[in-house]
Structure 1
């Protein structure tokens, strides 16, 4: 804290007790995160599957490096700026699971590909041609994945069109070993809408449809004499089904590392790892009424696109209080006596981890419990605000 009382820098320092973390702050329970990290890595390894977690969830190079150290082949990003931010902090195998057609962004990615292994998705001839031009100018090589619409209704070509687009990618292959060009790497097949279907049966049905589209896309590619090296995709809600199909060779699950409140509403698939809540917003009661309490964590401290946060281990309901306030009321079976006192700490489980992380500058890693633990690490959110 500066002399005039203004806060600067992270909300805590290594060695601080958890009670000293300034609020609102984004806190990672390290034991739970490490459990999730190992559980997912072991599950993929036991099935001979590549794991490439999606780093758009945590946007943090330190966590990406930990995932790679645990066995991941690299990480995914969603925007060029995320790729640049993580590469600058030593993450050197990146797949941008999105389309890029802006020549300026493509020029930056092509230059980045001289320093790291980089993959990019395409779903249009224009994207392929512009990427090829940028790569030739930078004299680099980029892995290219043809994205197929497997049910999301967002990006991606129809399965029958995958072969023609793959042929266009292959036409820009390096003319000599080590030369510049595009390297056809396979298919991007991600069904985002399947991730939050609550019942395993519904997720299985959605991924069965996705698998039919993948089979058709692979057939379209191989019919033209092109091999399809890899199908990559899947998320934290559906990866069991992609893995069971025998088609996907690489899993892109990301939210498993933190497990937000929305994912926790899914009925787990049989045989799936047991993931635990690891991401919390620490808040403090700043006002107290007769039948409600107000904490200092509003919309600017947690995303609300997947619902309001859940109050951790207390019989309380969180209500919308605006940008800077959250209103707590007694939940079912509770009374005003269960409300926290003025100045008391309240821990919140955010509804959606990805956009919540993007609201903060640091992740505070605590070991030994949220109440009595000690700050072990404070990590910058390197790709915070990396929206381009």
Structure 2
């Protein structure tokens, strides 16, 4: 039997890969947050999270989670098809669908699994998927898992999408896109995409992860804003972890789509259901948003202020990017901001293209004037090169 010193280390390649990432400025570390509501021991103004409406620590939302946990326990105890569906899940699906103008909803354990489930179940062998080049990683992974033929269209290029649909040999086709793209915060041309789908007999799948709670009347999303809500050939996915401040995902679509997903979507069938506490918190967050629709407009107002500070164009969503170039410069700038009381996002490849590493800033409805004054001082200095 060989001694330990002569055994080949099958994980030695990880050391080399790690060294390469560090040299390229692409090493990542986890940074645990300190417990407490914003301003209570956290030590930094949050411009990095996706809690756009400021509902993650809202007393009513926390109470919704606690109440559901007390009634149903801490976990769902099984898959949705066995013991993992409670009355809380069913009520959440009805309420979310009604809010965005959809016919039905199906809740998943995350936005990621919702996208995986919807794309793989609606496509598959013998189908074509046309995906925007800027689609979220969960949609990209769903394309790879679907076994469909995938055509990637240049970002926002409706003509390229229509050409791909027009020359296809497949009977079924699915066009997928984010509504609001997570890195730049720009909007997809949904009306034009839907027109192309109608002309070419395709289904449009829209990920509203960054649109729900921010765009549309009272935060009902970009699909609703553009008059596409409830269309049978439009499937909407969303996450509960951004504007609704919790965790989970949902597919909002024609009831036939819902029935199909329950029967065949593997990330629904074989996954443990969303914890009842998360369903309860999402319902409570949705109730707050219905009662206080002005939160959605407040997000955009703060985003506009952040863009002015950074010298950027007027944003169309909660996302504001301060592009700095190389990854190490972005990392250094993020650390510089943190020391000065501002927590910002740092996006580097593969999240963004090479040469466009950036501070990714997210506006929130509950940012105060004092918060914005500090952001103005710190980000203004970064924009002028003080953190270089």
Whether TM exceeds 0.5 here: the answer is no
TM class, shorter-length: 0.3 to 0.5
In proportion to residue count, which structure has more helix?
Answer: 2
| TM-score of the superposed pair, with normalisation by structure 1 | 0.34
